[in-house]
Structure 1
Amino acid sequence: MRDTKESRLLLALLVAIAFALITVDIRGGEQSPVDGARRVAATVFGPVENGVASAVDPIGNAIAAVRDSDERHGRIARLEKENAELKARLGSDDRNRNRVRELDELLKRAGAGQYGIKAAEVIGIGAAQGFSWTVTIDAGSNDGIKRDMTVINGDGLVGRVTTVGPTTATVLLANDPDFTVGTRIERTNELGFATGQGSRPLSVQLLNGKAKVKPGDRLVTFGSQADRPFVPGVPVGEVIRVDPSSGELTRRLFVRPYAAFSRLDIVGVVVQAPRTDPRDTVLPAKPKPAPTVTVTVTPSPQDPGDQPQGEPDEQPLAVEPGATPRPDGQDQDQE
């Protein structure tokens, strides 16, 4: 339609009428005179609006999805964070349970040997002061720790204190090549010296070259003068190999230590030695061997009537005087 003066007047008139109807509708409220017309229009154009809305719903949903994506990503991130925290908490609970078990075993060993101990946690591991195998613990001089004190855990001997600070201390582990401790064999009381060999078993040199030793024998610390650096009776390890005796004055053994030096966590520093040597009372109880089941089969006696028919009874061979029985049943006269 061409833009004429009449068309502009008509458009202005329609706009004025529309504003007038809107004003009347707003002022009338529920009693609006155009309410009936609005209902008729809703009835006529409602289906058309629904159809148009259905057609554009995917577009609206896409826009809403884009708008809500940040919120969903944030919610997913929060859930992932909560799951990670839960897993960490569960892992921490497992670790705490293990530490409680280790502390319980440590207290049992200390009680059996009457050792006064200061519990500590391993907070560092590595070479120190020229030694290859050392750990750092979170207890020092402020806790009564002194140099050359024995260090144990729930399994047995761990090492000895070499350096002490106010809040930390360095422990030389028993598997260090520069570590040596006097030992005593449980069964025979034979004395020797155990030396560390890193990740290999401890090497023990017995003072008696003719000592009777076998795999499975267990060793404890012999103890030092004034109980420094070693208190007596601490479990050291178990013999796994014995070198053949070669007539020398000493004899060499190889001992698997009880302590796992690569998995140390809770340890105890012996700050008070026992009044008497606990001897072998600190050693763990030996496992009982599994019983061996022996089955004995006893044959039942056979009645004469049970012999199968058709088989003649075995009769002793009759041997005439002067004849020698032969395998084929025939007799051979002696010449």
Structure 2
Amino acid sequence: MRDTRESRLLLVLLIAIAFALITVDIRKGEQSPMDSARHVAASAFGPVENGVAAAVDPVGNSIAAVRDSGVRHDRISRLEAENAKLKQRLGSSDRHRSRSKELDKLLKTAGAGGYGLKGAQVIGIGSAQGFSWTVTLDAGSRDGIARDMTVINGDGLVGRVTTVSSSTATVLLANDPDFSVGTRMEKSSELGFATGRGGDAMTVQLLNGKAEVKKGDRIVTFGSRNNKPFVPGVPVGTVSKVDRTAGDLTRSVNVRPFVTFSKLDIVGIVVKPPRSDPRDDVLRSKKPPKPKPAPTVTVTKTPKPSASESRS
């Protein structure tokens, strides 16, 4: 197009119209002629925009939920791990406290009887040499352990050593039917022989058939020549039943051992006997069991019927 007067007038007219439209569109409070065009665009593109938003929002929410869920899962896992460690620590502490208590009782018994001990732990049970009631200890000949040594714990007589290796020892328990030990009654000094009956029971045959024995009397070991296989004064058990049969040369009594053979853990092997017979010293150091309170019996009286009720 050539630069003529008409073309210049046309250009100025177009510029003026453009400015007029811009001014009308941005005026406040009045409807713009461009609104119709905007409405047409909104009608065309609005559903597409809403669909895209509806599709994108769940994805964003799911990503946030997964992220939050992962944080919660990690927190729960940490708490569970901490709880497991705490329970393990508490269980270990309970075990240490129990063993410490057993060791304290063992040392007290050894002190009262004057016994020189080698401490050991039960590491196995079973019939290593054909015996039905035996345990294996983690101490042997290299620890100074020898056959026929007396084995005790804080409660009393456990048994005697029967077999020894360099690092272990087998103990025949006092409740084994093949077990036998000389005994002496507390206070009366009546002599007898105790044998095992399996479980938590023993039998004592008293040499004096007329010996005065009652339920609750306590028994200790009498000891042997050269203190083998048993040292004197070790608590054996309490009389639980007395055989009243008369006319026999001996009297049989049932004895409940002080030791619970199914719960053995820390024990002591007497490697040095006492200088003198402790007799009842160890028993006196032990507190007698508390008597069980007598059961209370409630008696309910039935009220007598009145005279009117009797006539009716």
Change (3 A) 1:220 1:53: farther
> Which residue in the other structure is 2:188 paired with?
188
> Which residue in the other structure is 2:63 paired with?
63
Deviations 1:135-161 (A, max 9, x none): 111111121111111000010001111
Measured after TM superposition, the shift of residue 258 of structure 1 is 0.3
Instruction: Output the TM-score relative to the length of structure 2.
Output: 0.72
Q: Does 1:113 align with 2:97?
A: no
Q: Does 1:203 align with 2:195?
A: no
Change (3 A) 1:290 1:255: closer
Counterpart of 2:288 (choices 280, 286, 289) is 286
> Which residue in the other structure is 2:147 paired with?
147
RMSD: 2.8
> Which residue in the other structure is 1:255 paired with?
255
Deviations 1:90-118 (A, max 9, x none): 01101110110110000000000000001
Measured after TM superposition, the shift of residue 64 of structure 1 is 4.0
Q: How does 1:97-112 map to 2 (within 5 A)?
A: 97-112=97-112
> Which residue in the other structure is 2:168 paired with?
168
Measured after TM superposition, the shift of residue 74 of structure 1 is 4.9
Measured after TM superposition, the shift of residue 51 of structure 1 is 11
Change (3 A) 1:71 1:260: same
> Which residue in the other structure is 2:269 paired with?
269
Measured after TM superposition, the shift of residue 81 of structure 1 is 2.7
What amino acid does structure 2 have at the position aligned with 1:151?
V
Change (3 A) 1:68 1:164: farther
Q: Distance between the aligned counterparts of 1:262 and 1:102, measured in 2?
A: 15
Q: Distance between the aligned counterparts of 1:287 and 1:161, measured in 2?
A: 29
Instruction: Output the TM-score relative to the length of structure 1.
Output: 0.67
Segment drifting more, 69-78 vs 209-218: 69-78
> Which residue in the other structure is 1:16 paired with?
none
Q: Distance between the aligned counterparts of 2:199 and 2:290, measured in 1?
A: 29
> Which residue in the other structure is 1:234 paired with?
234
Structure 2 unpaired stretches of 5+: 1-48, 294-312
- Percent of pairs with identical residues: 72
Contact 1:209 1:245 in 2 (8 A): no
Deviations 1:64-92 (A, max 9, x none): 44466566545533432332121011011
Q: Distance between the aligned counterparts of 1:274 and 1:221, measured in 2?
A: 13
Secondary structure of 1:167's counterpart equals coil
Q: Distance between the aligned counterparts of 1:285 and 1:63, measured in 2?
A: 69
Change (3 A) 1:256 1:290: closer
Q: Distance between the aligned counterparts of 1:192 and 1:94, measured in 2?
A: 40
Measured after TM superposition, the shift of residue 60 of structure 1 is 1.6
Structure 1 unpaired stretches of 5+: 1-48, 292-335
Contact 1:210 1:245 in 2 (8 A): no
> Which residue in the other structure is 1:89 paired with?
89
Secondary structure of 1:109's counterpart equals helix
Q: Distance between the aligned counterparts of 2:128 and 2:262, measured in 1?
A: 16
> Which residue in the other structure is 1:25 paired with?
none
Number of residue-to-residue matches in the alignment: 247
Contact 1:187 1:217 in 2 (8 A): no
Secondary structure of 2:126's counterpart equals strand
Deviations 1:190-243 (A, max 9, x none): 111111111142011111111111111100000011111100000000001000
Secondary structure of 2:167's counterpart equals coil
Q: Distance between the aligned counterparts of 1:285 and 1:66, measured in 2?
A: 64
What amino acid does structure 2 have at the position aligned with 1:170?
T
Segment drifting more, 59-68 vs 265-274: 59-68
Q: Distance between the aligned counterparts of 2:254 and 2:219, measured in 1?
A: 11
Deviations 1:24-48 (A, max 9, x none): xxxxxxxxxxxxxxxxxxxxxxxxx
Segment drifting more, 214-223 vs 80-89: 80-89
What amino acid does structure 2 have at the position aligned with 1:220?
V
Change (3 A) 1:209 1:96: same
Secondary structure of 1:124's counterpart equals strand
Measured after TM superposition, the shift of residue 288 of structure 1 is 7.5
Q: Distance between the aligned counterparts of 2:89 and 2:131, measured in 1?
A: 36
